[in-house]
C-alpha cells in the first residue's frame, strides 16, 4: 500500500511541553494511519496525550509546547514544519477540527451566517455571496438543524448546547474537508443529543468519504462509531487495531483493565475491575513502559521501553507481556 492511499499518516510524532516544572512529554512517539472514509477512535484518559495529538496534527500547539520530531503526512505532504501560510490554507479547508466546547469555534458576537460565509470565503474568495449562503444552508441541513434559513440569521447564544455543536460541525464541513479531527465533541452533551450527533457523524463519513479522528475517553462511543481504535497511555499508543478485534480481544494489560472498568450489562452487582493507582504525571514518566507501576504483569524487562510489536495480525502494541491467550477473561 502506498502512502497516497492513506489520507493521514503519522510517524513517530513527538510533542513536548517545556515548562518551568520540567519537560512534559505529552506525545512521545505516536504512529498511526487513517484511510479514506475511515473513522479512527483515539481513546485515552486525562493526561494520555490524545488531545495534544489532535492539536499537533492540525498545527495548533502553542508554546511552551512544540512538535519536536516526527512526521504528519497528509496525502504524502509533511505538515510538521510547514510554513504558517500553507498550514492556514489547509486548516478549515482540507483538515478541520471540532472542539469539546462549541464556543471555541463560534464567535459569540457574530451571526451564524457571517461566520460560515467567512469560513468559505477565507479559502475561496471567488465564491459569490448567494452561492456561499446556499452552501451554508446545505451544511446546516446536513447536520440535522431544522429551519436553516432562520437559524442562519441567529447568534450562537440563541442556540442550545447540542445545536451549537451541530453548527460547529457544519462549519467544519463547509469546505468538504478530507479529514475531520473531533476532540471530545459529545462529552458535554446529553445522551439523546449525543445519540443524534453520533448518528449524523456516522452517516456523514459513509456518504462523503471524509476521514475522521474521534478523540474521546468513552470507549462505548468509539465502539459504535469507529472502524479502528488507538488506545493511548502516558503519551504513547499502547494498542491499536481494528475496533472489534481490540474490544473483543484486547492484548495490552491497560486496554484490558480499561474495558474491565466499564460497567455494563454483565457487570451488575459485581465488583468492577479496577486498575490500581493513578496515571503518571507527564512530567515524571517512569523509565521504560509508562504503565508498569500499575501493571499486574510488570517485571524488570519493562524498564526498557517496549518497541512497537505486532503479536497478532492487524494489531500493534507496545508491551513486554501482552495477553496472547484468547481464552482469558477480561474481568478480574
Partner 1 sequence: MSEQMTQTAPPADVQPLAKVQTPLQRFASDYFENKIAAGALFVLIGIIFIAIFAPLISPQDPYDLSSVSVLDSKMPPGSQHFDGWTFYLGTDGAGRDLLSAIFYGLRISLGVGIVSGVIALVIGAAIGMIAAYFGSWVDTLIMRIVDIQLSFPTILVALILLALLGKGVDKIIIALVIVQWAYYARTVRASALVERGKEYIEAATCLALPQKRIMFRHMFPNCLPPLIVVATLQTASAISLEATLSFLGVGLPVSEPSLGLLISNGFDYMLSGRFWISFFPGIALLITIVSINLVGDQLRDVLNPRLQK
Partner 2 sequence: MSEAMLSVNNLTKNFVKRLDLAGKIASKLGSDIREEVVHAVDGVTINIPRGGVVGLVGESGCGKSTLGRMIAGILKPTFGEIIYKGVSITDMNDDEMRRAALQIQMIFQNPFASLNPRMRVEDIIGEAPLVHGMITSAEKSEYVRDIMQKVGLDPEYRRRYPHQFSGGQRQRIGIARALAVKPEFLVCDEAIAALDVSIQSQVINLFMDLREDLDLTYLFISHNLSVVEHISDRVVIMYLGRIVEIAETDDLFKDPNHPYTQALLNGIPRLDQRGIDYEPIDGEIPSPLDPPPGCHFHPRCPHAIDRCKAERPELREIAANRWSACHLNDQA
CA 326, chain centre distance (Å): 28
**If 0-12 CB within 10 Å is exposed, 13-18 middle and 19+ buried, where does residue 139 land?**
buried
CB-based contact 171:116 (threshold 8 Å): yes
Pairing assessment for the beta strands 211-216 and 39-43 based on DSSP bridges = parallel
Quick one: cell of 102? 462549541
Strands (E), the chain: 6-19, 22-35, 39-43, 65-74, 77-78, 95-98, 179-183, 211-216, 228-233, 236-242, 308-309, 316-318
* Cβ 231 to partner 2 shortest distance, Å: 11
322 touching partner 2, by CB under 8 A: no
Residue 283 makes contact with partner 1 by CB under 8 A: yes
Does 163 sit near partner 2 (CB under 8 A)?
Answer: yes
Binding region for partner 1 (CB under 8 A) out of 32-40, 157-165, 187-195, 276-284: 276-284
Q: Which of 63, 83, 108, 265 binds partner 2 (CB under 8 A)?
A: 265
Check residue 20 for interaction with partner 1 (CB under 8 A). yes
* Residue 104 or 283 with smaller CB distance to partner 1: 283
139 binds partner 2 (CB under 8 A): no
Q: Is 274 in the site for partner 1 (CB under 8 A)?
A: yes
Binders in 6-45 for partner 2, by CB under 8 A:
45
167 scored as a contact of partner 2 (CB under 8 A): no
Whether the bond into 64 is cis, omega within 30 of 0: yes
Nearest to 52 by CA among 41, 38, 39, 62: 62
Interface with partner 1 in residues 214-273 (CB under 8 A): 271, 273
Q: Does 280 bind partner 1 (CB under 8 A)?
A: yes
- Residue pair 318/237 in contact (Cβ under 8 Å)? The answer is yes
Rg (CA), the chain: 21
Cβ proximity to partner 1, 41 vs 234, nearer residue: 234
d(CA 158, CA 219): 32
Q: In the complex, what is the shortest distance from the CB of residue 259 to partner 2, in angstroms, rounded to a whole number?
A: 7
Q: How far is the CB of 58 from partner 2 (least distance, A)?
A: 25
> Strand ranges (DSSP E) for 139-275?
179-183, 211-216, 228-233, 236-242
Report phi then psi at 92, rounded to 5. 80, -5
Nearest approach, Cβ of residue 175 and partner 2 (Å):
26
* x/- map, 196-225, partner 2, by CB under 8 A: x-xx--x--------------xxxxx-xxx
Q: Quick one: what does residue 293 bind among partner 1, partner 2, none, with the CB cut-off 5 to 8 Å set by partner type?
A: partner 1
Name the site residues for partner 2 (rule: CB under 8 A). Answer: 45-46, 160-163, 190-196, 198-199, 202, 217-221, 223-225, 243-244, 247, 257-265, 267-269, 271-275, 278-279
Given the rule CB under 8 A, which residues bind partner 1? 20-21, 271, 273-274, 276-281, 283-284, 293, 296, 332
Amino acid at each position: 500500500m502506498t502512502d497516497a492511499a492513506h489520507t493521514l499518516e503519522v510517524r513517530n510524532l513527538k510533542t513536548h511541553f517545556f515548562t518551568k516544572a520540567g519537560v512534559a512529554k505529552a506525545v512521545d512517539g505516536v504512529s498511526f494511519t487513517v484511510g479514506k472514509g475511515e473513522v479512527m477512535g483515539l481513546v485515552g484518559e486525562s493526561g494520555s496525550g490524545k488531545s495534544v495529538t489532535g492539536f499537533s496534527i492540525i498545527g495548533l500547539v502553542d508554546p511552551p509546547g512544540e512538535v519536536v520530531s516526527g512526521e504528519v503526512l497528509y496525502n504524502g505532504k509533511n505538515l510538521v514544519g510547514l510554513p504558517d501560510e500553507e498550514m492556514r490554507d489547509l486548516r478549515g479547508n482540507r483538515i478541520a477540527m471540532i472542539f469539546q466546547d462549541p464556543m471555541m469555534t463560534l464567535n459569540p458576537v457574530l451571526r451564524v451566517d457571517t461566520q460560515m460565509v467567512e469560513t468559505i470565503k477565507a479559502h475561496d474568495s471567488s465564491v459569490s455571496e448567494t452561492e456561499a449562503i446556499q452552501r451554508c444552508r446545505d451544511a446546516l441541513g446536513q447536520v440535522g438543524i431544522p429551519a436553516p434559513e432562520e437559524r442562519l440569521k441567529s447568534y450562537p447564544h440563541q442556540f442550545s448546547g447540542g445545536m451549537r455543536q451541530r453548527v460547529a460541525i457544519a462549519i467544519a464541513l463547509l469546505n468538504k474537508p478530507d479529514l475531520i479531527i473531533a476532540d471530545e465533541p459529545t462529552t458535554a452533551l446529553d445522551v439523546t443529543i449525543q445519540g443524534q450527533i453520533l448518528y449524523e457523524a456516522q452517516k456523514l463519513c459513509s456518504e462523503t468519504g471524509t476521514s475522521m479522528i474521534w478523540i474521546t475517553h468513552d470507549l462505548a462511543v468509539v465502539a459504535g462509531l469507529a472502524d479502528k481504535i488507538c488506545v493511548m497511555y502516558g503519551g504513547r499508543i499502547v494498542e491499536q487495531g481494528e475496533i472489534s478485534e481490540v474490544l473483543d480481544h484486547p492484548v495490552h494489560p491497560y486496554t484490558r483493565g480499561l474495558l474491565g472498568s466499564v460497567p455494563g450489562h454483565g457487570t451488575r452487582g459485581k465488583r468492577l475491575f479496577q486498575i490500581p493507582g493513578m496515571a503518571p504525571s507527564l512530567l515524571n514518566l517512569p523509565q521504560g513502559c509508562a504503565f508498569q507501576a500499575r501493571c499486574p504483569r510488570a517485571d524488570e524487562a519493562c524498564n526498557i521501553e517496549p518497541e512497537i510489536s505486532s503479536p497478532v495480525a492487524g494489531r500493534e502494541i507496545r508491551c513486554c507481556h501482552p495477553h496472547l491467550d484468547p481464552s482469558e477473561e477480561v474481568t478480574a
